[in-house]
């Protein structure tokens, strides 16, 4: 869970282009702005998916709430929300969506969840250091049918901005859950490579590439539209999710509409989990994450690839 070298190398690969846009780990003092409350006609369809600092601060001592810092261990050790356990996205990676691979991956993820002390009946709150990647662990638990999992809007940056204390250095090792974690898989929230291939040319399906424009131009799944994942959040730290109306406008402008089956992907399913989360947040109910993403698609010489900046 705490493989520092692997985590740092993989994170640099995924975040490289986004860091150039100022979308990296927040540093220094943040502005004292907070997002305005949405207007009556700008509510999220599923507001329970996001919680704010005030909600979390009032529940730090609640034994039914478990906090997970979803970030590299060195960043976590430098300061995290008190009482958190830690894991990072490389520990949950799966880029082979064949049946046998997914079954083995689920067993490993369940083992990791048990080790973190996650029980099926706890409320899990996930936060990140500004990457928006907390959505990845949210999606994993969502796929496993976890009853109550939420993301801290603005992540660790919002917590620090509120002036609330953080813990420094590594925590005590987590206490494993008494009962091994066993998920109840929700098959509709994942897209396997055979399903993505079968959807090509189907106008009822919208494929969304959440990578950078350069990655998209170099090669993408035919028919996919490019919506880089940082566009789901406001541009300045803390990275609060955009209001519902702005998210709807972003996707509908690219013909990614609620009446279509939406399949997001990126390089390894981490960035596109942000896309999945955002779409579910605003009420898209028919969304399936292609977690194998470009890593799986591009490894198959029999699958078609489109280059250039057009679908």
Nearby residues of 11 by Cβ (< 8 Å), 6 or more positions away: 72, 88, 89
- ∠ CA 251-24-288, rounded to 5°: 35
The runs of H, that is alpha helices, within the chain are 4-19, 53-57, 73-77, 99-115, 134-143, 155-161, 193-199, 213-218, 244-252, 271-281, 293-297
Domains of the chain: 18-161 (3.40.250.10), 187-297 (3.40.250.10)
Nearby residues of 43 by Cβ (< 8 Å), 6 or more positions away: 244
> For 211-266, what is each residue's pLDDT tens digit?
999 999 999 999 999 999 999 999 999 999 999 999 999 999 999 999 999 999 99
**CB-CB neighbours of 194 under 10 Å:** 11
pLDDT of residue 29: 26
pLDDT of residue 174: 86
pLDDT of residue 170: 67
Cα separation of 135 and 139, whole Å? 6
Low-confidence ranges of the chain (pLDDT < 50): 1-41
**CB-CB neighbours of 221 under 10 Å:** 25
pLDDT of residue 256: 98
Nearest CA to 234 among 60, 34, 95?
A: 34
Cα separation of 272 and 79, whole Å? 27
Cα separation of 138 and 150, whole Å? 7
- CA 183 to chain CA mean position, Å: 19
pLDDT of residue 164: 95
> For 154-176, what is each residue's pLDDT tens digit?
999 999 999 999 999 766 778 89
DSSP letter at 235 equals S
pLDDT of residue 183: 97
Cis bond upstream, residue 169 (ω within 30):
no
pLDDT of residue 15: 39
pLDDT of residue 195: 98
pLDDT of residue 169: 76
Catalytic residues: 266
């Amino acid at each position: 869970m705490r493989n520092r070298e692997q985590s740092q190398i993989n994170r640099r690969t995924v975040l490289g282009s986004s860091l150039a846009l100022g979308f990296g780990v927040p540093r220094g003092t943040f502005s004292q702005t907070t997002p305005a409350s949405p207007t009556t006609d700008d509510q999220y369809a599923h507001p329970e998916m996001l919680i704010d600092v005030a909600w979390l601060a009032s529940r730090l001592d609640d034994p039914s709430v478990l906090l997970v810092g979803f970030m590299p261990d060195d960043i976590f050790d430098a300061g995290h929300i008190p009482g958190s356990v830690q894991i990072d996205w490389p520990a949950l990676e799966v880029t082979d969506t064949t049946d046998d691979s997914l079954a083995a991956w689920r067993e490993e993820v369940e083992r990791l969840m048990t080790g973190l002390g996650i029980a099926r009946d706890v409320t899990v709150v996930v936060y990140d250091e500004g990457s928006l990647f907390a959505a990845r662990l949210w999606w994993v638990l969502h796929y496993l049918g976890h009853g109550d999992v939420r993301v801290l809007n603005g992540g660790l940056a919002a917590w620090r901005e509120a002036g609330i204390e953080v813990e420094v250095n590594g925590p005590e090792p987590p206490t494993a859950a008494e009962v091994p974690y066993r998920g109840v898989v929700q098959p509709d929230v994942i897209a396997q490579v055979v399903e993505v291939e079968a959807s090509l040319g189907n106008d009822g399906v919208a494929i969304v590439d959440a990578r950078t424009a350069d990655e998209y131009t170099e090669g993408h799944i035919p028919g996919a539209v490019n919506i880089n994942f940082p566009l789901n959040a406001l541009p300045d730290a803390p990275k609060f999710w955009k209001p519902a109306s702005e998210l709807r406008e972003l996707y509908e402008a690219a013909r990614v509409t609620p009446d279509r089956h939406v399949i997001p992907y990126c390089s390894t399913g981490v960035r596109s989990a942000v896309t999945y989360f955002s779409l579910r947040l605003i009420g898209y109910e028919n969304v399936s994450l292609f977690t194998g993403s470009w890593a799986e698609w591009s490894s198959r010489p029999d699958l078609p690839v489109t280059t250039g900046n057009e679908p």
